[in-house]
């Protein structure tokens, strides 16, 4: 019976949490661009054969500035899971600064084979390298992790056709007040989408077709951005962003 | 606590089986074994009146059989006498036949026995049974109507008692009880001796309406060997038997409505039927703001049902057949567009049946009870998480007691042996996310589609418990010793748990008690059932208590306790459990109850600290349910047809683990929280005032009552927990309900 009691507890807590969250959550939504944070970390390419190199860059957004692509201030190999007590030396050495930014270099094939053995991976499996990156926004540090696959070639996806209000976007988008604006991006079935903006409110922001609406009494900036990020589920990522203004 | 006296004539004692068989004198209903208390000296009070006329008999002599202890009834026929549970009283008066009465049980039942063919005397005796453990309390049904803020809900009133964490402390206490800082699973809620799976309908109401409850016994610790499988406290509820007089009542409020009827069946059977349904599901939709991102597809809705049938069987036996049922359903979307990802569905229902037979003859009494319960729990969260359980539990419980006025030079000797066995068959199918262990912080923004545990199968659990105890008095001291042996067959563990209590009546109005014992809680929560290589959690409790009656109508209980917990279950790195934890809980409690004229007043305060070390060498931390302060002050006045009451309560906020920062996982587009020290912060304290006003009228044969019960009248909103923004950069508070009024109407026939 005690299992029942416990499960009922969990159920009630879940119910209460959902209801309370719905009623109490007035925090900044995940689609809001007018704040400081990391939106995505990109390794180009996200999968490397032995000896190949990848460049790291970060899509961030900052309050009053909007989205921009920058290099991380710091990058370091970190444990890939809780069971990994110490990062193997071959992985630590794979992340290094270069030309004001950071790059990842895949170890040699013998080193990869050794890593596969020590990590319990099969002979042809890619070796995951988890990279921790840090950027500074508004004087505060922001951390993120990104996994680069070593021993297997991968590429970032290309951004599919995007339309905003039925037209291809360009800087200088005009967002009407109290009207729905359709945001659409063509993606593969396995790809995941996130729309963001600072000039209105979004619904279905996780779907390929989202809706942007600028309420009449909104206190958000009248000049900002619309952005879309597409992830392929295998470490690949791409994005696009455009300046936008609220119609006078 | 009122004590029940079984009354029997000399003739009935000489004729075996005659006690329960007298057609005009229904035997009193005996309390279930689970609420029977070990014998100890208490004050029995009663009244001797002439049969037929009801005229009081002054000068009647009441003697404890086999002793020189006696009392004489006053001009109103009343008497009081220090009389331990189980002894026989010999009642005699000039011109009347002798009658015998036996101090037998725990609850208020007045029994009438006619002696001989002609008019004899009727003996009405009500006594106050000893409290079952230091710091324990019994609440009778009539007591609770006076406590504001409980909505006339007896089980909900438990939180006014010292040591019980207030439900305002957080949603985790919606179900089960948090007693003396321990987890809900460390305590048990028993109805007529058997465990029930949950106590509350959606956190609003208990599953048993007050009118179907006879009494509630609260044992926060130091309980005797007849209770097992719990390492903290016990709440034992006794259901109400039928009544020879037909009666019916109905109640309707904004929370729920119910009907109850009782009366006779055949010549000597009695019944009680109660049914209740929520009404809040009709009210709630109108209260949700239009802009709330919430859609209640099925508004929280509940039913409950109780039936009880009592009758004598002859040969000194009496039978009670009880059923208890409950059904709760809710479905909501935390999204006004009914997004399936934000859906939550839950249904819990159970039906328990209990057949209970009791026997008493002279020094001997026995009880045998069998029970089965069928339970279904189903919940679904989002598109991926679900839990589906169908469980069937059957149990048997029996106890044999011998009560002797003297033995081996000792007084009031009571010897008991008992046995109980349970078999649970749980048919599970589940796919759930992370379910946190004690002290483990839960990611409030966890992906609902992330499944951490899947299981499908049947788990059977069989447990057997045996116990024996003796109690005896010498001078002003009474010693109770006993041992309980539990066999937890699934984990192949036998637990021997010795327990003892020494009680000394320092003065007539002051008693000091010291109890100590060993307790075990078998592993059976969450996924503990899947691991057969772990041991029960252990607790060693020491409780020192005092009971004082400084003024007429005023009772004060003080207690101090220390609980050492060991072999606590801790999740180790490979995800398995290990008995590595230790913990301690200590504190002090005071409970004062004043009843004078139409005034009833309660004061309870508890001070506690509950800490735990998860594994050797780890840092000590607070238990999840540590509550340093808990204060309740309540008073109620009955002024003619009006009854007015008020209550104030304050309790410390619940500890929680803060989230200090987060790391963004770019590949999964989510944030991983970085937790601070476990339970290193505490929500703000909770305080509120409640009022209750009730007025009654006579409308023909019907007594009508209208009541208004308002919780949190000064609209105080305290933080009961925190939520976080998607990236954990912002924290927002979950606040307590600003005000909860309940207005209703009750009719009684």
The per-residue pLDDT for B119 is 32
- Mean pLDDT within B275-296: 75
pLDDT of amino acid B100 = 65
Task: Round to whole Å and give the CA distance between A60 and A36.
Answer: 7
Q: What would the mean pLDDT of B320-338 be, rounded to a whole number? A: 85
- Residue B51 phi, psi dihedral angles, 5° rounding: -65, 145
> Alpha-carbon distance A130 to B109, whole Å?
73
Residues near B687 by beta carbon (within 8 Å), at least 6 away in sequence: B648, B649, B650, B651, B716, B718
Q: In the structure, what pLDDT confidence band is assigned to residue B53 with cuts at 50, 70 and 90?
A: low
CA distance B220 to B218: 6
Closest CA–CA distance from residue B344 to any residue of chain A (Å): 7
Residue B267 contacts A, CB cutoff 8 Å: no
A19 phi, psi to nearest 5 deg: -65, -45
Q: What is the pLDDT of residue B144?
A: 60
Q: Is B726 on the interface with A (CB under 8 A)?
A: yes
Residues 330-349 of B with CB under 8 A from A: 330, 332, 334-335, 342, 344, 346, 348
The pLDDT, as a whole number, for residue B220 is 92
Q: Which residues contact B699 (CB under 8 A, 6 or more apart)?
A: none
pLDDT value of position B283? 81
Task: Encode pLDDT of B170-196 as tens digits.
Answer: 444 445 678 988 888 898 889 999 988
Name residues 81-140 of chain A within 8 A of B (Cβ): 82-83, 132
**Which residues of A, range 8-67, sit inside 8 Å of B by Cβ?**
8-30, 37-38, 40-42
To which H or E segment does residue A172 belong? none
Out of A1, A30, A41, name the one closest to residue B197 (CB): A1
**How many angstroms separate the CA atoms of B443 and B672, rounded?**
8
Instruction: Give the one of A3, A18, A229 whose C-beta lies nearest to B332's C-beta.
Output: A18
**Residues in B 492-551 with any Cβ partner in A closer than 8 A:** 524-526, 529
3-state secondary structure of B14: helix
Judged by CB atoms closer than 8 Å, whether chains meet at A144 and B666 is answered as yes
Rg (Cα) of chain A, in Å, rounded?
Answer: 21
pLDDT tens digits, one per residue of B343-398: 888 899 999 999 999 998 889 999 999 999 999 999 888 888 898 999 999 999 99
What is the spatial distance between Cα B548 and Cα A41, in angstroms, rounded to a whole number?
70
pTM (2 decimals)?
0.79
* Contact by Cβ (8 Å): B484, B467: yes
Confidence of residue B527 (pLDDT cuts 50, 70, 90): confident
What confidence tier does B65 reach under pLDDT thresholds 50, 70, 90?
A: low
Q: What pLDDT does residue B628 have?
A: 94
Cβ neighbors of B366 (< 8 A, separation 6 or more) are B358, B359, B360, B398, B399, B400, B401
Q: Which of B390, B575, B664, B729 to mutate to test the interface with A (most CBs of A within 10 A)?
A: B664
DSSP summary character for residue B533: S
Map residue B335 onto helix, strand or coil: coil
Q: What is the share, in percent, of chain A residues with pLDDT greater than 70?
A: 88
Report CA A85 to chain centroid distance, whole Å: 26
Of A3, A12, A83, the CB nearest to B174: A12
- List Cβ neighbours of B266 (8 Å cut-off, separation of 6 or more): B311
Mean pLDDT of B683-694: 90
The most confident of the ranges B32-41, B533-542, B710-719 is B533-542
Distance CA B522, CA B231 (A): 9
Mean pLDDT across B653-662: 90
Chain A residues with CB under 8 Å of B732 CB are: 24-27
Q: How near does any CA of chain B get to the CA of A86, in Å?
A: 16
The mean predicted confidence, pLDDT, of chain B is 81
Greater pLDDT, B487 or B335 = B487
pLDDT at B337 over 80: no
- The pLDDT, as a whole number, for residue B31 is 34
* Helix/strand/coil (H/E/C) assignment for every residue in B707-738: EEEEECCCCCCCEEEEEECCCCCCEEEEECCC
Average pLDDT value for residue range B102-110: 42
Is A4 in contact with B379 (Cβ distance < 8 A)?
A: no
Interchain contact B15–A (C-beta under 8 A): no
Lowest model confidence (mean pLDDT) among A2-6, A33-37, B345-349: A2-6
pLDDT class of B112 with cuts at 50, 70, 90? very low
The 10s digit of each residue's pLDDT in A75-134 is 999 987 756 668 889 899 999 999 889 999 999 999 999 999 988 899 989 999 999 999
Answer whether the bond into residue A6 is a cis peptide, omega within 30°. Answer: no
């Amino acid at each position: 019976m005690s299992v029942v009691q416990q499960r009922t507890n969990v159920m009630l807590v879940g119910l209460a949490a959902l209801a309370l969250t719905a009623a109490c959550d007035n925090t900044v939504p995940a689609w809001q661009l007018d704040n400081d944070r990391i939106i995505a970390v990109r390794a180009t390419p996200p999968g490397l054969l032995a000896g190949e190199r990848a460049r790291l860059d970060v899509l961030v957004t900052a309050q009053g500035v909007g989205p921009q692509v920058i290099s991380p201030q710091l990058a370091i190999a970190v444990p890939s899971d809780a069971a990994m007590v110490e990062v193997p030396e071959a992985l630590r050495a794979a992340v290094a600064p270069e030309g004001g930014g950071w790059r990842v270099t895949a170890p040699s094939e013998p080193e990869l084979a050794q890593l596969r053995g020590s990590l319990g991976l099969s002979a042809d499996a890619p070796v995951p390298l988890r990279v921790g990156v840090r950027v500074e926004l508004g004087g505060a540090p922001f951390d993120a992790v990104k996994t680069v696959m070593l021993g297997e070639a991968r590429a970032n996806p290309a951004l599919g056709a995007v339309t905003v209000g039925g037209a291809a976007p360009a800087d200088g988008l005009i967002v009407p007040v109290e009207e729905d604006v359709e945001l659409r991006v063509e993606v593969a079935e396995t790809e995941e989408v996130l729309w963001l903006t600072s000039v209105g409110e979004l619904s279905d922001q996780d779907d390929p077709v989202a809706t942007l609406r600028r309420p009449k009494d909104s206190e958000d900036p009248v000049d900002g951005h619309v952005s879309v990020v597409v992830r392929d589920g295998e470490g690949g990522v791409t994005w696009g962003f455009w300046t936008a203004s609220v119609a006078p | 606590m009122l004590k029940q006296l079984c009354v029997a004539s000399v003739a009935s004692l000489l004729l075996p089986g005659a006690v329960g068989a007298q057609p005009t004198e229904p035997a009193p209903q005996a309390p279930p074994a689970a609420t029977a208390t070990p014998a100890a000296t208490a004050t029995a009070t009663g009244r001797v009146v002439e049969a037929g006329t009801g005229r009081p008999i002054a000068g009647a002599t009441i003697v404890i059989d086999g002793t020189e202890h006696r009392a004489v009834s006053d001009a109103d026929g009343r008497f009081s006498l220090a009389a331990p549970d189980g002894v026989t009283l010999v009642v005699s008066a000039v011109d009347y036949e002798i009658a015998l009465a036996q101090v037998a049980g725990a609850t208020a039942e007045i029994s009438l026995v006619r002696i001989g063919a002609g008019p004899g005397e009727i003996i009405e005796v009500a006594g106050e049974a000893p409290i079952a453990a230091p710091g324990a309390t019994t609440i009778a049904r009539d007591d609770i109507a006076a406590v504001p803020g409980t909505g006339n809900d007896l089980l909900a009133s438990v939180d006014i008692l010292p040591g019980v964490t207030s439900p305002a402390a957080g949603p985790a206490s919606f179900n089960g009880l948090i007693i003396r800082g321990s987890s809900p699973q460390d305590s048990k809620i028993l109805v007529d001796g058997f465990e029930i799976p949950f106590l509350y309908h959606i956190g609003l109401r208990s599953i048993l309406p007050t009118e179907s409850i006879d009494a509630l016994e609260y044992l926060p610790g130091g309980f005797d060997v007849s209770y097992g499988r719990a390492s903290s406290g016990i709440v034992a509820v006794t259901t109400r038997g039928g009544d020879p007089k037909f009666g019916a009542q109905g109640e309707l409020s904004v929370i729920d409505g119910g009907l109850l009827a009782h009366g006779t069946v055949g010549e000597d059977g009695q019944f009680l039927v109660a049914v209740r349904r929520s009404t809040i599901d009709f009210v709630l939709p109108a209260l949700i703001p239009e802009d709330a991102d919430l859609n209640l597809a099925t508004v929280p809705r509940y039913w409950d049902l109780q039936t009880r049938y009592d009758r004598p069987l002859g040969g000194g036996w009496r039978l009670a057949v009880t059923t208890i049922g409950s059904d709760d359903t809710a479905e909501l979307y935390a999204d006004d567009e009914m997004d399936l990802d934000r859906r939550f569905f839950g249904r819990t229902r159970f039906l328990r049946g209990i057949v209970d037979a009791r026997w008493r003859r002279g020094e001997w009494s026995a009880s045998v009870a069998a029970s089965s319960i069928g339970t279904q729990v189903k919940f679904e969260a989002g598109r991926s998480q679900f839990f589906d359980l169908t469980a069937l539990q059957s149990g048997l419980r029996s106890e044999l007691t011998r009560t002797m006025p003297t033995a081996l030079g000792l007084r009031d000797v009571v010897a008991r042996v008992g046995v109980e066995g349970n078999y649970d068959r749980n048919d599970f199918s589940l796919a759930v996310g992370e379910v946190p262990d004690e002290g483990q912080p839960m990611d409030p923004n966890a992906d609902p589609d992330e499944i951490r545990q899947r299981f499908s199968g049947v788990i059977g659990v069989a447990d057997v418990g045996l116990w024996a105890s003796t109690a005896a008095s010498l001078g002003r001291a009474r010693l109770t010793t006993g041992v309980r042996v539990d066999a937890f067959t699934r984990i192949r563990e036998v637990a021997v748990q010795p327990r003892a209590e020494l009680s000394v009546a320092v003065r007539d109005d002051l008693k000091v008690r010291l109890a100590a014992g060993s307790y075990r809680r078998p592993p059976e929560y969450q996924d503990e059932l899947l691991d057969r290589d772990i041991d029960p959690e252990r607790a060693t409790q020491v409780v020192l208590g005092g009971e004082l009656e400084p003024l007429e109508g005023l009772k004060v209980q003080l207690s101090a306790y220390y609980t050492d917990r060991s072999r606590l279950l801790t999740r180790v790195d490979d995800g398995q459990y290990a008995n590595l934890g230790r913990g301690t809980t200590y504190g002090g409690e005071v409970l004062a109850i004043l009843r004078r004229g139409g005034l009833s007043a309660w004061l309870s305060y508890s001070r506690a600290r509950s800490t735990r070390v998860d594994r050797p060498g780890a840092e000590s931390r607070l238990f999840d349910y540590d509550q340093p302060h808990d204060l309740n002050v309540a008073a109620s006045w009955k002024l003619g047809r009006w009854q007015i009451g008020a209550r104030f309560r304050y309790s410390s906020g619940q500890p929680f683990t803060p989230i200090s920062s987060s790391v963004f996982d770019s590949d999964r587009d989510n944030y991983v929280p970085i937790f601070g020290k476990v339970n290193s912060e505490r929500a703000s304290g909770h305080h509120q005032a409640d009022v209750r006003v009730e007025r009654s009228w006579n409308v023909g044969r019907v007594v009508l009552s209208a009541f208004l019960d308002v919780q949190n009248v000064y609209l105080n909103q305290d933080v009961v927990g925190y939520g976080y923004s998607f990236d954990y950069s912002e924290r927002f508070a979950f606040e307590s309900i600003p005000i909860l009024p309940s207005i209703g109407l009750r009719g009684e026939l």
